[in-house]
Structure formats: C-alpha cells, structure tokens
Amino acid sequence: MPKKRSRRLQELALKVEERPYQPIEALTLLKETATAKFPESAEAHIRLGIDPKYTDQQLRTTVALPKGTGQTVRIAVIARGEKVTEATNAGADVVGSEDLIEEIQKGMMDFDRLIATPDMMPQVAKLGRLLGPRGLMPSPKGGTVTFDLVQAIEEVKAGRLEFRADRTGIVHILFGKASFSAEDLLVNLKALQETIDRNRPAGAKGRYWRSMFVSATMGPSIEVEINALRDLKLGDAA
C-alpha cells in the first residue's frame, strides 16, 4: 500500500513540473520547496547505467564538496601511540585504540565518520558487521585508512564525503543544506557530477547517466537536465 503524502508535500509537488530543469532552476526550486520546520539538507538521487553485482561496474569513491556539507561532522579515530595525541590535536571528537573498538562493539556509535590507521585495521575488521551496513567502515579508497590523520580529519571536516552506488545502481547523497544559496549548491552538485564521471567503472557500457533528481529532505523530487550540468563550466557555476 503506497504511503499517503502529507497535504504539505502534495501542495509542494504542484510547484514541480514533470520535466528536466536547468541546474540552477532546479536548485532554486529545491530551496522554495524546503518548508519543513527544521533545517533541511539538499539531496541528490542519481541513477547510473551500471549493475553493481559485477565488480567492474561498482562505484565507490569520495567527493570534496567545495562549499562544504553544512553539517557538523563528528569524527572518531582508531589509532595507537603518538597517533592518538595527533588525532586529538587535529580535532577528532572521539579517539582511542582497543578500548574504542570495544566500546563500538558494545554499541557506541556517537560519530559520523570513522578514520583508522593501517596498523589498527586487522582489529577494526572485526567491526565490519556493525560498521558496514551504516557506511562507516574505514577504507583506503575512501581516504579513511591512513597514517596522515591531520589531513584526513581536515578533509572530512571541510566537506569530503564517501559515497557508493547501491545494488540498483543509484547514488543517494547529501550535497549541502537547503539554506545554501542556489549558486553554492550548484558548485557542490557540479563537483559531484565531475567526481562520478571521473570514476566511471571500467565495465559500464552504453549510457552512463540515466537520471538525476534533487530534493530537500522533506521536499518533492525535481529532475535535473544532466547534459546541461555536465556541459557547465565550473567558472560559470562559481
């Protein structure tokens, strides 16, 4: 049985035409439809022409959002020795070694991103069942397994996000706050598009981009004209 949409969402949906919008037009409309009683995020939902059940068609990478995420990111670091002090001084919110691994095993999840040094990964691996489904497992490709904790923490706080295509080939990702200007949202969305193009899986055949929709957290979906976004030069979007 389909979920009943609220009257608020039904009214907002009437503002959205069933057509692809030019990027800046779509983002302006996203802001207009962000009418919830809390600060909403800006979300992108991108369908790609890939089948992630094949290893050469999987997409997992990171994007650095030039205008940031607008969110306060709580960072946990698993390290040992002097690296614990280094992580604390760099601004990590939760830092520990075996003790932190034990706390996480007991259910402590008071963080948004987890960074680990390579020497701790054999022990961190036992947290896979807990962290994997939440998208929190550190990975070298995501830049969250490293000895350079200062740089990793700075990048995460500045707006670097890790993302992946789900099993149906769709990327779901936040790319800012609805309170951002449409121009700043456009800069972030363009960075996301370029990252997805740059990391096109080797096995992707045919049309790579199928559709892109953006929305506020509680707002209606708005289709974006993908080719217009891809043709946009960053200088035009700044």
Each residue's pLDDT expressed in tens, for the chain with a length of 238 residues: 456 667 877 788 888 889 999 999 999 999 999 998 899 999 999 999 999 999 999 998 989 899 989 888 899 999 999 999 999 999 999 999 999 999 999 999 999 899 999 999 999 999 999 998 888 899 888 889 999 999 999 988 888 888 999 999 999 999 999 999 999 999 999 999 999 999 999 999 899 999 999 999 999 999 999 999 999 986 644 4
pLDDT, position 13:
80
How far apart are the C-alpha atoms of 100 and 70, rounded to whole Å? 27
CB atoms within 10 A of CB 203: 13
| Centroid of chain to Cα 211 | 18
Q: Do residues 29 and 16 make contact, with C-beta atoms less than 8 angstroms apart?
A: yes
The 10 Å Cβ neighbour count of residue 168 is 10
Structural tokens at position 150: 């200062």
157/31 Cα distance (integer angstroms): 24
Count the neighbouring beta carbons within 10 Å of the beta carbon of residue 101.
Answer: 17
Query: DSSP E strands: which ranges in the chain?
Result: 41-48, 60-64, 75-78, 94-96, 113-116, 160-164, 170-177, 209-216, 222-223
At residue 16, φ and ψ (nearest 5 deg) are -105, 120
Residue 31 near residue 215 (C-beta atoms within 8 A): no
In order, the DSSP letters of 13-26 are: HTTS-SSPBPHHHH
3-class DSSP assignment, residue 156 = helix
Q: How far apart are CA 178 and CA 109, in angstroms?
A: 26
Do the strands 94-96 and 75-78 form a parallel or antiparallel pair, or are they unpaired? parallel
Q: Which two tokens stand for residue 112?
A: 């948004």
Hey, what are 137's tokens? 């497992």
Enter the tokens of residue 19.
Answer: 């057509």
How many other CB atoms are found less than 10 A from the CB of residue 128? 10
Rounded Cα gap, residues 184 and 195, in angstroms: 17
pLDDT tens column, 184-206:
999 999 999 999 999 999 999 89
pLDDT of residue 135: 82
Q: What domains can you pick out in the chain, each with its CATH number?
A: 7-69+160-237 (3.30.190.20), 75-158 (3.40.50.790)
Cα–Cα distance measured from residue 206 to residue 191, given in angstroms and rounded to the nearest whole number: 23
The DSSP code for 21 is B
The whole model's pTM is what? 0.76
d(CA 235, CA 157): 25
